[in-house]
Amino acid sequence: MIRLENVTKIYDGDVTALRDASFDIPKGEFIFLVGPSGSGKSTILRLLNRQYKPERGDVWVAGKNINRMREGDVPRLRRQIGNIFQDYKLLLNKTVFENVAYALEVIGQPRHVIRQQVPQVLDLVGLAGKEDRFPNQLSGGEQQRVSVARAFVNRPLILLADEPTGNLDPATGEGIMKLLEAINKTGTTIVMATHDQVIVNSMRKRVVQLDRGVIVRDQTRGVYE
């Protein structure tokens, strides 16, 4: 499903955020990216979403080499991917409902489908009743949950989650993890960058550890450290 082959990413010509990284993620796997702050976790997720191109190496997603992809095909790639961004990236002048609905509108879902699915998903992440709020009328954790809802509302093939529980209390975070596990069970490949040792240790999934841009560990059924 996802393959990195000797990928190096250098920002602005001098910040090497990822050095010669390779791994292979089969369809349906759940994988944790761990490592200290600034080690390159978000960079990997950005490469998979074609937010950036690597300076060296190839990135394969859903059978396609996305470095060689035409610009016009990028939107189609992104629609197969659900993204939970570290800084949420919500549309500030859309309501909670509209933010989540946007991911469905982009793939051309008719209105009645949107009206039915969005409230359902918002209910799952515990935001029922907050549909009409704007992002800046929400707490940090609530905004994060909106971004979680948007990422999987269109049932993507792949889910890229950057710290999806960073601003959540343990109980709510656990709820989100249960959700991700359920989504993973339906065949969605999930790559999640996290700092939460408790979660990583309790789930016992594959763990890829980074340190200053280098993959230093790749362990099935791993723990945080």
Partner 1 sequence: MLSRVGYALRETWQGFQRNWTLTAASVLTAAVSLLLAGVSFFIQKAFDQVLEQWSNNVQFVVFMQPDATDDQVAAVRSTLEDQQASGIVREAPYTDKTASYEEFRRLFATNPTVRDTLTEEEMPTQFKVAPASEDSVVINNLIGQFRGRPGVLDVRSPAEYVKVISKLSGFIRWVTTALWIVLLGTAVGLIWNTIRTAMFARRREIEVMKLVGATNWFIRIPFMLEGLIQGLIGSAIASASLVGLNVIWTGRIRSVTAGLSNVKDLALVHFIVGSGYVGSIVVRLIVLGALAGAAGAGIAASRFLDV
Ligand X SMILES: Nc1ncnc2c1ncn2[C@@H]1O[C@H](COP(=O)(O)OP(=O)(O)OP(=O)(O)O)[C@@H](O)[C@H]1O
CB nearer to partner 1: pick between 76 and 217: 76
- Window of 1-9, 58-66, 108-116, 165-173 that interacts with its own copies by CB under 8 A: 165-173
121-180 binders of Mg ion (CB under 5 A): 139-140
Please, what is the minimum distance in Å from the beta carbon of residue 183 to partner 1? 18
**Beta-ladder partners of 21:** 7
Of the candidates 41, 50, 150, 205, which one interacts with ligand X according to CB under 6 A?
A: 41
Q: State how far the alpha carbon of 144 is from the alpha carbons of 48, 87, 135, in Å.
A: 21, 8, 10
Least Å distance, CB 136 to partner 1, is: 10
One-letter amino acid of 28: G
* By CB under 5 A, residue 42 contacts Mg ion: yes
Alpha carbon 48 to its chain's center = 10
Beta-carbon contacts of 209 under 8 Å, excluding residues fewer than 6 positions away, are 33, 34, 35, 215, 216, 217, 218, 219, 222
- Work out the burial of residue 71: count CB atoms within 10 Å of its CB; fewer than 13 is exposed, 13-18 middle, 19 or more buried: exposed
What angle in degrees, to the nearest 10, is found between the helix axes of 111-124 and 140-152?
Answer: 130
Interface positions, 44-73, toward partner 1 (CB under 8 A): 49, 51, 71-72
Does position 107 interact with partner 1 (CB under 8 A)? The reply is yes
Judged by CB under 8 A, which of 71, 171, 186, 221 binds its own copies? 171
The minimum distance between CB 113 and partner 1, in angstroms, equals 9
For residue 187, the 8-state DSSP code is T
Which residues bind to its own copies, rule: CB under 8 A?
Answer: 11-12, 15, 34-38, 41-42, 86-87, 126, 137-142, 144-145, 162-163, 166-173, 195, 197-198, 224
Which residues bind to Mg ion, rule: CB under 5 A?
Answer: 42, 86, 139-140
